[in-house]
Structure 1
Amino acid sequence: MTIFNVFTLMGGIAMFLYGMDLMGKALEQTAGSKLQGILSTMTSSPIRGLLLGMAVTAVIQSSGATTVMAVGFVNSGLMELHQAISVIMGANVGTTVTGWLLSLSGLEGDNFITQMMNPNAWSPILGFIGIWMYMIGKDRKRGVGKILLGFAILMAGMNTMSHAMSPLADEPWFMDLFLSFKNPILGVIAGAVLTAVLQSSSASVGILQALTSTGAVTYSAAVPIIMGQNIGTTVTALISSAGANKNAKRTAFVHLYFNVIGTILFLCGFYGLNALIQFSFFNETANTFGIAIVHTVFNVVTTAILLPFNRLLEKLAILTVPDSPADKKQE
């Protein structure tokens, strides 16, 4: 791998992050206040809040953005803390959509249908349509154009990263690096740090999917990294709660505790089962579909386990950010 591959990789990451940011912001702007109105009112039950968080995150392609919106609504008094908890859980499930979209780029085949299912085949056309709508359209059409353009840039960045990292398959040190991530603790830390820096679990999952092209990423290394990515994404909400009221801070801590507790439970269950039955795929080379599956299974399983305990998460957050004596007197 040469210095020019590094330059190409940096450019690919820049395109990927910019495309994701452009698409997410354009979706939010196009939907306008409708998203915010729905998010603040349709949370009367945990299940409805869960479904709402999933839907909004799947649309705007960012669990961080949904969580930050929830923190903002709690801070403004438009949403109660217990309502925000189910929305946050739904956001974690909704963010898996990005991984599935990116995994389609791994489809291979000679027939027309298979080739057209691969986003690499039609994302350039979407980019062309998008820039055309953006340049000659007005208001809503410009917004739709930015969405299409953002997706095309995202996919171009994904391809650029994959091509830039492919020479790493022949580098012994890179293989050794990923072998070290088989240690769950190191893998979790690596995933958390990467996501905290990028401020996006979707982006870090996409980078991990691109890394699968090197052949160095096994499921034994990928699983703890994905767990860490879910912890790292909580940094966005924690930062957004700085200077906010106590309930908003508690909302951010609920997001942190949900992912930390979920990671501990999932890792204990996963490695416990592997010790008993020896998963056949454990040491196999991961692919983009496999990464999407692991990411989805983690978020769905942890949400299913922890949703009934949303009130306990609320109490834990209140213990972390307790009321002051003055607040208790006002009550």
Structure 2
Amino acid sequence: MLESIILSLIGGLTLFLYALNYLSDSLKAVTGERMQFYLNKFTGNLFSGIASGTVITTLLDSSSAVIIMTIALVKSRALTFRQAIGIVMGANIGTTISSQIIALDVGKYSSVLMAVGFLLLMLAKKRLPKNIGRVLLGFGLIFFGLYVMEESVAPLRQSPRFAHWMQALENPLKGVGIGALVTLIIQSSSATVSMIIALGAKKLITITAGIAVMLGAELGTCSDTLLASIGRSRQAVKTGIFHLLFNVISIIVALILFNPFVQLVSAISGNAPLERQIANAHVLFNCIGVVLFIPVVPLAERLLNQLIREKQTIRQAA
């Protein structure tokens, strides 16, 4: 039984990760160069930058893709580090939209989206309907991959060993560690949060453990953006480090106030299903983190500017 569960889970996860990349590429094809134009146009101040990062991440369904694209734009001097700060913070909010959609339990209808998308892709003559077909097919594959993961873990309800392991994740530090490790391996916080939601849908994880692993996913997702900043300009490196700093501080605050945060999620969610409560926790954590961090942004910006100076500034100082 264990072998079939693992194989099904790997299959569903692989399909989910492929669908995420496929959907991101498809949406980039629809938006084209306009995405870069809007990023540059609507990031005049911190709040417009946060709004832009939220909207674009919602569209692309990948905070990592948006932040990596932002780092590339900062390197090419199309964006400044100050503009990038708002986009990074907004990307953390935008990525929570997908968890809300996933918690709707739309996996059973994924075949409809895949069928409509495939027909548009194959039969449409014009570019726009074909691109819409790609987007629908991508969403359908995401939901189907999630559905496969949900069904694959269902037999684990009868496993005392698995139940004992999941209870251990109620320790916030252990949960954060596991969430960070899984995200580091699969390079997708969305996939990690989706797996937590899938476990919640089958009542295989508690809200406490789910929130702890979710916090770990937010830490693990910093790895790919840090890698993307290696060898880039000083401004681009500061963007990658700001993402890490923002997430680490938010996670530390959440761990300090872990029990009150869990109670807040439960109070807001009411009698909602467990998967919905986990999705709500994802939204609350990122939104509260952005709101609390806004007053600290000028200090963080000055600190990073001091620590990572431009080469010209160093010569002048010498």
> TM-score, normalised to structure 2's length?
0.92
CA contact (8 A) 1:61 1:98 kept: yes
1:253 counterpart residue number: 241
Structure number with higher relative contact order (C-alpha < 8 Å, ≥ 6 residues apart): 1
CA contact (8 A) 2:207 2:262 kept: no
Percent identity, aligned pairs only, is 29
Whether 1:135 and 2:122 are equivalent positions in the alignment is yes
Gapped regions of structure 2 (runs ≥ 5): none
1:112 counterpart residue number: none
Over the aligned positions, Cα root-mean-square deviation in angstroms equals 2.3
Q: How far apart, CA to CA, are the structure 1 residues paired with 2:41 and 2:78?
A: 8
| Count of residues paired in the alignment | 314
1:20 counterpart residue number: 20
- Is the alpha carbon distance of 1:42 and 1:241 closer, same or farther for their aligned partners in structure 2, counting shifts above 3 Å? same
Shift of 1:223: 1.6
- Is the alpha carbon distance of 1:49 and 1:147 closer, same or farther for their aligned partners in structure 2, counting shifts above 3 Å? same
Whether 1:196 and 2:184 are equivalent positions in the alignment is yes
Shift of 1:323: 4.2
Decide which of 189, 199, 205 is 1:211's aligned counterpart: 199
- After superposition, the C-alpha distances for 1:103-129 in whole angstroms (9 at most, x for unaligned) are 100xxxxxxxxxxxxx23543222111
Shift of 1:317: 2.7
Greater than 4 Å deviation, 4+ residue runs: 272-275
SS at match of 2:204: coil
Decide which of 147, 153, 165 is 2:135's aligned counterpart: 147
Q: How far apart, CA to CA, are the structure 2 residues paired with 1:273 and 1:151?
A: 31
1:37 counterpart residue number: 37
Q: How far apart, CA to CA, are the structure 1 residues paired with 2:75 and 2:179?
A: 29
Q: How far apart, CA to CA, are the structure 2 residues paired with 1:287 and 1:21?
A: 27
CA contact (8 A) 1:219 1:286 kept: no
Shift of 1:321: 2.9
- After superposition, the C-alpha distances for 1:132-181 in whole angstroms (9 at most, x for unaligned) are 11112243322211111111111111111111101111111111111111
SS at match of 1:215: coil
- Is the alpha carbon distance of 1:262 and 1:152 closer, same or farther for their aligned partners in structure 2, counting shifts above 3 Å? same
2:313 counterpart residue number: 327
CA contact (8 A) 1:194 1:229 kept: yes
Shift of 1:330: 4.9
2:110 counterpart residue number: 123
Whether 1:55 and 2:43 are equivalent positions in the alignment is no
Q: How far apart, CA to CA, are the structure 1 residues paired with 2:284 and 2:274?
A: 15
Gapped regions of structure 1 (runs ≥ 5): 106-118
- Is the alpha carbon distance of 1:128 and 1:201 closer, same or farther for their aligned partners in structure 2, counting shifts above 3 Å? same
SS at match of 2:257: helix
Shift of 1:214: 3.9
1:116 counterpart residue number: none
CA contact (8 A) 1:82 1:310 kept: no
CA contact (8 A) 2:183 2:189 kept: yes
CA contact (8 A) 1:57 1:94 kept: yes
Code of the aligned partner of 1:327: T
CA contact (8 A) 2:107 2:146 kept: no
SS at match of 1:47: helix
